[in-house]
Structure formats: C-alpha cells, structure tokens
C-alpha cells in the first residue's frame, strides 16, 4: 500500500487547486474524485450530442490571478473570453443594457434617468474603492479574533491593515453594504427600476434570500470582487465551458506529479488516535497519508465520511446548523438557431453575446423569492441567461446554439420532493417565462435539461444544492466559515484539513480556499512554494 | 478636400465603426477598432475568426524571364525552391545589410510572382531590378485583402469556397470562386494562429465582405481592427515595420537601422544562394559576430506589477492595447543593455509580454532584465525575463487538414 504526503478528497476546482499547489511544492499527493471526471461543479458535459452543457458553474471572475499564474493555467489550456454586456429585456417591450464602454452605458441609462447616469459613475468608483480595500482579504487565512496567539494577532493586524487603504466614508459604506439588502443599498443610489433590478441580482445569486433581505448586500459585494485581465468586476467565459478551467487545473496538477483517481468515491476518513491517517474508498481501497484534505462540502465531510463521535460536540453543532438550503437551478437548452428577443433592438444584437437577465424589476425579483420560500418555486423566476456558443463556437454544432440559464428560485426542500414530474414542471415554468421575452424560443429548442437543487446535491455533492457550499451571509463568513476557531482550514481532527468553498472566502470559482489551505499546509510542513 | 485613401471595403468598415477609431497605414485609413473596446475583436482571433482589412499592404506583380533571378537578388531568402501554389516570407535589405521591408512572396508561374510589403516601396524594387528582364506592377489599389484569422476560419472558408480549402497547407495558396467572383486565398497571416488571407479584385470587395459576414455568423466571425491584430502579432513574436524596426531607406542615422540578425530573422538569410543585396555586409556581420542586439520576447513579473499598484491604492493597469515606443531595459548594475519596442498584456497566455532588442549577453532564455514602468506618476523597475519566442503557439497554425 502506497503512502502519500497528502490525500485530497474531491476533484472540484478547489480540490484540484489545492492538490496542484501541494504537488508543486514536492509533496506526494493523491486526489480522489467520486465522479468519472474531475471538475466538481466546474464542469462541461455533453449531455445532448454535439452540445456542451454547463451543468454547474458558467462564468469566471473571482479566480485569483495568483492561481492562474502560479499553476500556469494558460499553458495547460485555460482561455477566458470576456463577457462584456448585460441586457435585461423588460416586460413593456423596452430593454435596459449595460455595455463595456462608459459612454455607451451612460447613453442607455440616460434614456431612463439623467440623474442615474451621473450617479452611475460615482457608484462604480465607490464600489471599486471598496473592492480594492476588501479584496486582499480573499487571500488571508482567517484569524481567530478571540485568540492571542501570535499568528492570529498578526492576521488580525493584516485585516485591520486593509482599512488603511480605505477612506473612512468608504468604510462606513462598506459596513452598511455588508448589513443591508442589495435593493435597499441600490435605492440609495438610483431611481431607474431596471438598473436597480440588474444590479441587485448580484445580491441574490445562489442565495436563498430576496433582494430586499438584509445580508444580500454582501453577496452583491462578493460578486464585485473579481477581475479579468486586471479589469475589476469583469466576468468571462472559459473556452470549452468552465470544464475547460477545471481540466486545465487538473493538467497542471498532473504535471506537478499529483495522482488523480477518478471514479473513486471516498467512503470514510480514517481517524486513529484523534488524527486523520488516510481515507477508505467505496471500492474498498485505503489511501494512507500524512494528511487528509477535504474539498468536499462540510456536510458530507463531517457527517457522512466520519464517525460523529470523533468530533467535538461544539464543532458538530456548528456543522449541523450550517445553512445550505439552495434556491438555484441550472437549465441548458440546445437550440436550432438563435432565438429572437424582440425587446433588443436589431442594431444592438451584440448584446446577445453577453448576459441576458430576466430581471425586469426589483419587485419581480422579490416576488420570485416570495413564491419559493415556503417549499415552492417562483412562478416567474429570475434568470441569468448566456449563449456561450456565440463566444465559443465549439460549444455547439455550426449554426446551432446552446443557452445556459441560471434560475432562481426553487426550494431545495420542495414540498413533496423533487420528483421527475416536478422537475419537468419547473423546467416548463422556466421555458414559459423565457418565452415571454423570446416568442420563437420554443420552436428552436432541440433538447432541454435541468439541474434542480436536488440534482446539484446528487451529482455534485452540494448539500441542499447550495452552489456556494452554504450561504454567504454574515454568520457564515470569514472567521465563522465553517466554524469559529476552525476557519483557518484546519479542523478539530489533527491532520484533517478543509480546502473547499465551505471555507473562507466561500463560493464562486475563486481557487482561493484551495490555495489558502495549501499555503497554510505548506507553512506547516515547513516548505516554501516555489513561485 | 484632400483625404487619406480608403480601402475597397470602406463602405462596410465605416458602417461598423462605433467610436471613430481610425488609423493610418501606408496612406490608407483603416480601423484601429470597430467596437468601443477592442477585447472582443482580439479574442475572436484566438477563439473564433477575426476578419482584418489588410488591404493597405503594398502589392506587386513581378513578371518576366528574369523575375526569379531578380527576386533572388532582392530578398535575403533563397527562393529557388518556391513553386506555384506556395508562399514564403522574407525580408529585404540595402547594401549595408539593413532591413528595408519585409513581406510575403507567392509564386504563380516560373515567370510570375506576387510580393507584398508593409509599406509602399516601389522605387527600391525598381532600383534593384535595374538590368533584369522584369516588369514590376504596383497592384496595391487593384485588390482588397481580408485576413481571416482564428480557429474557425477554415470551417468558414470551407462554407465559402468548398472543401478545396482543406487542401491548403500552411503557406500554400490557390484560386477559388465565390459566386463567380474570383478570389485568391493563401494560408498565411500575422497572428500566429490558423488563418488565411483572401484577395479579391477591388470592384468585388464589398460582395466578398457581405458574403463572409453572412456565412461568418455561425462561426462567430468578427471584423477586427489593428489594435486586436497588434496584440496577436506580439504574442506570435512577429515584427512590425515602424514599431520594431525602421526601414533602412528612411532612417536618419545608421544606429536606427536593423539587420535581419537583430530582428530574429537570421533564419531567412541564405548566404549559399549567391549574391543578394546586402550579402557582403551580412556575411561580415555574421563572421565578426558583430550583431549589436538580438530580438527577444520578454515576460514581465505581473504579480510584482500588480503589487506595486496595490501598494499605492490602485487597480492594476494592464495594457490591453499594445504600447509602442522605445522603453529602456536595465541590468542589475543600472546599465542599459537593451530596449523594448512594444509590449502588451497577453490575454491568452495571461502574461505581460514585450518584444525587445537586447545585447547578445542578455539574449539567452532566462536572462533577467529590469523594465521601467510608471505606476501612479512614478517610475518603478520591474523584473522581466527572456522567454522563448513566440509566447503563443498553436498546432492549429500548421496543422494538415487535407484528406488523404
């Protein structure tokens, strides 16, 4: 039986990043993936022949530039194409658009409000300054604020240090943003309903809260923390889908000697004398290692792969009360040609290459939440649509297209459960809602596919189908994620580590938990990462 | 009113222009960028197909009994084996062995060739042609050229002219028809990617454009401007006249000129073929190993660059449009063993890259230099490293698609 320096559970993007960094530092690493292919929810799947579906994540922005650079992802095949515009077709036949160019966006906003066109510049500058101050926190190891240990104090000083970069008024704005609802925050800036609507959607992505629920302000900020080619807040599409990204990380990991075992579900984390010593797989194999790192969701890690008796009660309570009930579905449509959106003027068809948001107003979004919160789904859901085949023609056969739809809300705990019939019914709701904006859509659909919260859990192991491994709300952020005192990627079990989105800084394709955990592990093995 | 010349595609390109971003090229007006930001145009080169109007290229038809001997005399490269259907690239020099211009040469028949150049320079060709039985026709205004560059370009042309396009290997060319309009297509380009250049008589140019746009929709074709081309060609390590070197005919001092060895074109200097303009000087340069500079690609430490911006409270400013100009490169002692001539953020490789001239001692891969950049009003030095040219390479470029 081989013994490894580290065994990583789960080949999601963070598990892969973590393994790649450890491999790069010279550790002997095995990564075990439950499914036949690595990537986790960062995956492209050809469910309908010739059409590449994005069954999980679909866009990239928060991926840390260090990860791209240090793991040489472009060399291993990563290409990210910028996604530039956002358009919302409105119910009255008009549209609202956000372009990559300042003057063009200004023209669009001026159609609705001259005042908002002015505020828009100030809003963007404020968000940029706040993001600039906050962003270094993504790469920090969360300290325990109650601890007087030197490393915790040093990290606390670093957290405090971020404030030095921030003007006082920006810090106050940040505090309010962190605690307010996205819609209330935007109300302070703008009067244009569709502008507020498309901006506020950033506050509810993946989150089982409404745009008027306190706490969605942070989720909005979270989605502003990314960049592309140094351009803050820019989002991009990985060539070949997000699977193109995870495959590039996997290639980098393999190039650094990581052994990747697909189709190898971990059944149990082996604990001996209070220390993790390896894992046992469902196939009956054991992988012995000096340390075990879980990229999986906190629930399966601690509630399925371990004997609860091995964990302190306090910690177990934190994991049990972890809020991870997801509101999101993922729909993919194979299309026989481009659907028409009559609200989008013919001379602005370039907008079809960007995000198409079915988010006509803040009230529409709030109603969508209201419908779902008692175990139901939105009668008219919010949708973030994208036609990747317009950016990367390889995603569909020539002349055909795919549409990826991120859809909210549909309760993970649906009344009566997610039966096949319920699944089909909600898929119809999605298509009907979209057809209100695109009358010829239904005629063009060759195939449709939905991932409900139930499917997200079953296929990707995301408990409650929560795309971030649990809500990004204040009680579950930074030094509270996933449990106070254990936010530094360690766990109460010696040599058992966490490296997935259940840890700081949470969900989205960031690679940050994977990298932060690796750096922390390596500082313990007294090795330096060669950069 | 006197105006710059326009290309045969102007009615179409001007209709697309969103922000009046035009530029000059060889006396013509061409687009720097059609959209207000050039990103999408650049990405189409690497992910779908970009369509560049490169009509301002100088074009010459060279015919006559002594066409080949003349071209052997003009170009540094041996063209003895150039047969009909093939295209080669070569620079040409003055008698001091300094580069005058560079371009591609296609062969139609033993006595019939076609040469392109970055800039108009008929007088020089005619001077070298003295005594040869050859006619040189400047056909620059007679043809429009569209460069279709990117991974879907083959599929697109397949649709346009049929499967014959698959038979074209890299640097090969053939004649085709598009709805009775004759076109000549070479598998060449200036992006380092799979790509083709389509020549069409000026009077049919608009028809070709319209047809390409129509078919191109399914292939995510995007008309693209010179800014996009510039980033792609720096990634591909391809030099540009007036940016990376000056024509020896237009410099004011010898120091401003460049030999092919300085431009990384040593591979195209063929001494064994016999006499050519500049041979003696180039031979001496090679014998004495006296080339003062070597052409290299540099990668700057972008994390250090990002950090410098972070320190002063700014988001990093990565150039998404290539900059041009002479930027000094320093060694650890503060000496200046070279200069960069252009640089850009390379979105595909995610690296900050530059093309540069450095003293031979610094030209080996891995050599380290310092680049001067301004961060928030202050000059700072950032480490950069010589890497293999080009930083971007794809097997698509030369892949064989012919059915066996």
- Each residue's pLDDT tens digit, A379-421: 999 999 999 999 999 999 988 999 999 999 999 999 999 999 9
Q: What residues in A contact B19, CB-CB < 8 Å?
A: 101
Interchain pair B47, A392: CB under 8 A: yes
Q: Is residue A234 part of a domain?
A: no
CA of A230 vs chain B CAs: smallest distance (Å): 6
Query: How much is the pLDDT for B404?
Result: 61
State the pLDDT confidence band at A529, using cuts at 50, 70 and 90.
Answer: very low
H or E stretch covering A358 = strand A355-358
- Residue-wise over A184-199: b if at least 16 C-beta within 10 A, else e? bbbeebbebbbbbbbb
> Of A230, A348, A395, which to mutate for an interface test with B (greatest number of B Cβ within 10 Å)?
A230
State the pLDDT confidence band at A531, using cuts at 50, 70 and 90.
Answer: very low
Spans of all domains in chain B? 5-56+141-224, 58-138+259-288, 294-387
Q: Is residue A90 part of a domain?
A: no
Residue A47 reports pLDDT greater than 60 = yes
Residue A429, judged by CB atoms within 10 A of its CB (0-12, 13-18, 19+), counts as: middle
Residue B154, judged by CB atoms within 10 A of its CB (0-12, 13-18, 19+), counts as: buried
Highest mean pLDDT among A141-145, A167-171, A327-331 belongs to A327-331
- The rounded percent of chain A whose pLDDT value lies above 90 is 91
Which residues of A fall below an 8 Å CB-CB distance to B?
65-66, 68-69, 73-75, 78-82, 84, 99-101, 103-104, 128, 132, 136, 165, 227, 229-232, 239, 350, 353, 389-394, 398-399, 531
Say whether B147 sits in a helix, a strand or coil. strand
> Of A52, A74, A531, which to mutate for an interface test with B (greatest number of B Cβ within 10 Å)?
A74
In terms of phi and psi (left: phi > 0; alpha: psi -120 to 50; beta: otherwise), the region of B60 is beta
**Closest Cα in chain A to B304:** A66
Co-location of A108 and A179 in the same domain: yes
Co-location of A250 and A177 in the same domain: no
**Closest Cα in chain A to B16:** A347
Q: Is residue A259 part of a domain?
A: yes
Co-location of A491 and A408 in the same domain: no
Co-location of A113 and A25 in the same domain: no
Q: What residues in A contact B385, CB-CB < 8 Å?
A: none
Angle between helices A114-134 and A168-179 in degrees, nearest 10: 100
State the pLDDT confidence band at A349, using cuts at 50, 70 and 90.
Answer: confident
| Long-range CB contacts (within 8 A, 24+) of B166-170 | B166/B401, B166/B402, B166/B403, B167/B402, B168/B196, B169/B398, B169/B400, B169/B402, B170/B397, B170/B398
Supply A167's token pair. Answer: 């003007």
Number of inter-chain CB pairs under 8 A, A vs B? 85
Query: How much is the pLDDT for A84?
Result: 84
CA of B5 vs chain A CAs: smallest distance (Å): 28
CA B333, CA B31: separation in Å to the nearest integer?
A: 43
What is the domain count for chain A? Answer: 3
What is the average pLDDT across B139-153?
97
**Parent domain of A191:** 104-208+218-228
Interchain pair B303, A65: CB under 8 A: yes
Residue A527 reports pLDDT greater than 70 = no
Co-location of A201 and A120 in the same domain: yes
Q: What residues in B contact A68, CB-CB < 8 Å?
A: 350
Co-location of A331 and A422 in the same domain: yes
Query: How much is the pLDDT for A526?
Result: 72
Co-location of A333 and A449 in the same domain: yes
Tell me which residue has tokens 């579950």: A476
CATH fold match for the domains B5-56+141-224 and B294-387 = no
CA B145, CA B9: separation in Å to the nearest integer?
A: 9
Q: What residues in B contact A65, CB-CB < 8 Å?
A: 302-303, 306, 350
State the pLDDT confidence band at B401, using cuts at 50, 70 and 90.
Answer: confident
Residue A530 reports pLDDT greater than 80 = no
Contact A237, A389 (CB under 8 A): no
CATH architecture classification, B5-56+141-224: 2-Layer Sandwich (3.30)
Residue B365 reports pLDDT greater than 60 = yes
Tell whether B334 is within 8 A of chain A (Cβ).
no
CA A494, CA B259: separation in Å to the nearest integer?
A: 65
Interchain pair A165, B318: CB under 8 A: no
Supply A319's token pair. Answer: 């994991």
Q: What is the pLDDT of residues A227-281, one digit of tens each?
A: 998 888 899 999 999 999 999 999 999 999 999 999 999 999 999 999 999 999 9
Interchain pair A75, B351: CB under 8 A: no
Tell whether B289 is within 8 A of chain A (Cβ).
no
Last residue of a domain, one of A436, A460, A484: A460
State the pLDDT confidence band at B280, using cuts at 50, 70 and 90.
Answer: very high
CA B94, CA B98: separation in Å to the nearest integer?
A: 6
Supply A83's token pair. Answer: 């996604």
Interchain pair A136, B310: CB under 8 A: yes
> Of A229, A248, A354, A387, which to mutate for an interface test with B (greatest number of B Cβ within 10 Å)?
A229
Q: Under CATH, which number does the domain B294-387 receive?
A: 2.40.30.110
CA of B96 vs chain A CAs: smallest distance (Å): 41
Superfamily of domain B58-138+259-288 in the CATH hierarchy: Aminomethyltransferase beta-barrel domains (3.30.70.1400)
What is the average pLDDT across A123-151?
93
Report the mean per-residue pLDDT for chain A: 95
CATH number at residue A43: 3.50.50.60
Q: Is residue A283 part of a domain?
A: yes
State the pLDDT confidence band at B77, using cuts at 50, 70 and 90.
Answer: very high
Co-location of A333 and A417 in the same domain: yes
CA of A108 vs chain B CAs: smallest distance (Å): 15
Say whether A134 sits in a helix, a strand or coil. helix
Nearest residue to B51 (alpha-carbon basis) of B83, B95, B88, B16: B16
Q: Is residue A520 part of a domain?
A: yes
CA B234, CA B190: separation in Å to the nearest integer?
A: 9
Q: Is residue A94 part of a domain?
A: no
Interchain pair B315, A232: CB under 8 A: yes
Co-location of A285 and A176 in the same domain: no
Supply B382's token pair. Answer: 């950032």
Q: What is the pLDDT of residues B304-326, one digit of tens each?
A: 999 999 888 888 999 989 999 99
- CB hemisphere CA count around B255 (13 angstroms): 0
Co-location of A382 and A358 in the same domain: yes
Residue B331 reports pLDDT greater than 80 = yes
Q: Is residue A332 part of a domain?
A: yes
Co-location of A311 and A329 in the same domain: no
Q: Is residue A87 part of a domain?
A: no
Co-location of A340 and A430 in the same domain: yes
Length of chain B (residues): 404
Last residue of a domain, one of A433, A460, A487: A460
Last residue of a domain, one of A440, A460, A480: A460
CA B139, CA B61: separation in Å to the nearest integer?
A: 7
A74, A100, A104 member nearest B348 (Cβ):
A74
Interchain pair B39, A82: CB under 8 A: yes
Interchain pair A165, B313: CB under 8 A: yes
């Amino acid at each position: 039986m081989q013994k490894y320096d580290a065994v990583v559970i789960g080949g999601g993007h963070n598990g892969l990043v973590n393994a790649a960094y450890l491999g790069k530092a010279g550790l002997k690493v095995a990564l075990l993936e439950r499914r036949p292919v690595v990537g986790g929810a960062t995956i492209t799947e050809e469910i309908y022949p010739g059409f590449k579906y994005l069954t999980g994540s679909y866009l990239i922005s928060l991926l840390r530039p260090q990860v791209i650079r240090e793991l040489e992802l472009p060399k291993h095949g990563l290409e990210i194409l910028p996604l530039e515009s956002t358009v919302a077709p409105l119910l009255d036949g008009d549209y609202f658009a956000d372009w990559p160019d300042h003057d063009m966006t200004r023209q669009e906003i001026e159609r609705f409000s001259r005042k908002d066109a002015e505020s828009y510049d100030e809003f963007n500058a404020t968000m940029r300054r706040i993001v600039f101050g906050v962003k270094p926190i993504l790469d920090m190891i969360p300290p325990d604020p109650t601890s007087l240990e030197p490393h915790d104090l040093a990290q606390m000083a670093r957290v405090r240090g971020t404030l030095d970069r921030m003007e006082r008024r920006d810090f106050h704005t940040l505090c309010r943003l962190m605690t307010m609802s996205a819609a209330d925050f935007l109300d302070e800036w703008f009067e244009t309903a569709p502008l507020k609507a498309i901006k506020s959607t950033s506050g509810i992505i993946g989150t089982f809260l409404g745009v008027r629920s306190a706490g969605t302000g942070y989720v909005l900020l979270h989605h502003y923390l990314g960049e592309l080619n140094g351009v803050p807040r820019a989002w991009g599409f990985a060539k070949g889908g997000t699977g193109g990204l995870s495959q590039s990380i996997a290639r980098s990991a393999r190039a650094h000697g990581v052994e990747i075992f697909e189709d190898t579900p971990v059944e149990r984390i082996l604990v001996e004398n209070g220390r993790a010593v390896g894992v046992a797989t469902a196939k009956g194999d054991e992988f012995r290692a000096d340390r075990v790192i879980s990229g999986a969701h906190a629930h399966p890690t601690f509630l399925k792969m371990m004997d609860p008796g091995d964990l302190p009660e306090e910690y177990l309570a934190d994991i049990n009360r972890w809020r991870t009930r997801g509101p999101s579905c993922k729909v993919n449509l194979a299309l026989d040609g481009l659907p028409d959106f009559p609200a989008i003027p013919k001379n602005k068809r370039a907008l079809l290459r960007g995000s198409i948001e079915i988010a006509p107003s803040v009230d529409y979004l709030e109603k969508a939440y209201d419908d779902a919160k008692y175990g139901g789904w939105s009668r008219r859901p919010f949708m973030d649509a994208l036609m990747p085949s317009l950016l990367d023609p390889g995603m569909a056969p020539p002349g055909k297209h795919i549409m990826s739809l991120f859809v909210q809300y549909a309760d993970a705990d649906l009344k009566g459960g997610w039966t096949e019939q319920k699944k089909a019914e909600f898929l119809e709701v999605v298509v009907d809602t979209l057809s209100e904006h695109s009358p010829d859509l239904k005629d063009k659909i060759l195939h449709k596919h939905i991932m409900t919260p139930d499917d997200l859990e079953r296929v990707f192991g995301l408990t409650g189908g929560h795309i971030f491994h649990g809500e990004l709300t204040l009680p579950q952020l930074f030094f509270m994620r996933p449990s106070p005192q254990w936010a530094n990627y360690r766990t109460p079990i010696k040599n058992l580590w966490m490296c997935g989105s259940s840890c700081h800084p949470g969900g989205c394709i960031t690679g940050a938990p994977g990298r932060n955990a690796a750096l922390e592990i390596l500082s313990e093995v007294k090795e330096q990462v060669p950069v | 009113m006197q105006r710059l010349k326009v290309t045969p595609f102007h009615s179409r390109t001007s209709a697309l222009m969103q922000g009046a971003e035009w530029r000059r090229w060889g006396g013509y007006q061409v687009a720097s960028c059609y959209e207000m930001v050039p990103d999408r145009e650049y990405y189409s080169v690497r992910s779908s197909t970009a369509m560049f109007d490169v009509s301002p290229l100088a074009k010459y038809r060279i015919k006559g009994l002594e066409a080949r001997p003349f071209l052997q005399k003009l170009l540094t490269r041996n063209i003895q084996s150039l047969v009909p259907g093939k295209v080669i690239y070569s620079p040409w020099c003055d008698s001091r062995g300094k580069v005058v211009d560079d371009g591609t040469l296609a062969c139609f028949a033993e006595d019939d060739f076609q040469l392109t150049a970055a800039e108009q320079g008929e007088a020089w060709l005619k001077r070298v042609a003295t005594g040869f039985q050859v006619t040189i026709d400047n056909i620059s205004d007679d043809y429009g050229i569209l460069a279709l560059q990117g991974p879907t370009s083959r599929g697109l042309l397949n649709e346009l002219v049929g499967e014959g396009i698959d038979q074209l290997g890299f640097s090969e060319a053939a004649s085709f028809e598009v709805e009775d309009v004759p076109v000549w297509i070479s598998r060449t380009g200036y992006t380092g990617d799979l790509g083709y250049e389509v020549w069409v008589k000026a009077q049919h140019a608009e028809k070709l454009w319209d047809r390409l746009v129509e078919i191109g929709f399914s292939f995510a074709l995007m008309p693209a401007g010179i800014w996009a081309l510039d980033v792609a060609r720096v990634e591909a390590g391809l030099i540009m006249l007036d940016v990376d070197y000056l024509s020896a005919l237009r410099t004011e001092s010898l120091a401003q000129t460049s030999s092919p060895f300085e431009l990384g074109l040593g591979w195209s200097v063929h001494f064994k073929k016999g006499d050519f303009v500049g041979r003696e000087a180039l031979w001496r340069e090679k014998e004495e190993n006296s080339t003062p500079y070597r052409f290299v690609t540099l990668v700057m430490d972008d994390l250090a660059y990002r950090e410098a911006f972070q320190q002063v409270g700014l988001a990093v400013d990565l150039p998404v449009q290539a900059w041009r100009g002479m930027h000094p490169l320093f060694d650890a002692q503060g000496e200046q063993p070279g200069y960069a001539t252009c640089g850009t953020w390379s979105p595909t490789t995610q690296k900050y890259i530059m093309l540069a001239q450095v003293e031979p001692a610094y030209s080996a891969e891995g050599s380290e230099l310092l680049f001067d950049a301004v961060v928030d009003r202050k000059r700072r030095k950032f480490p950069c490293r010589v890497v293999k040219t080009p930083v971007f390479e794809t097997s698509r470029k030369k892949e064989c698609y012919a059915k066996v």
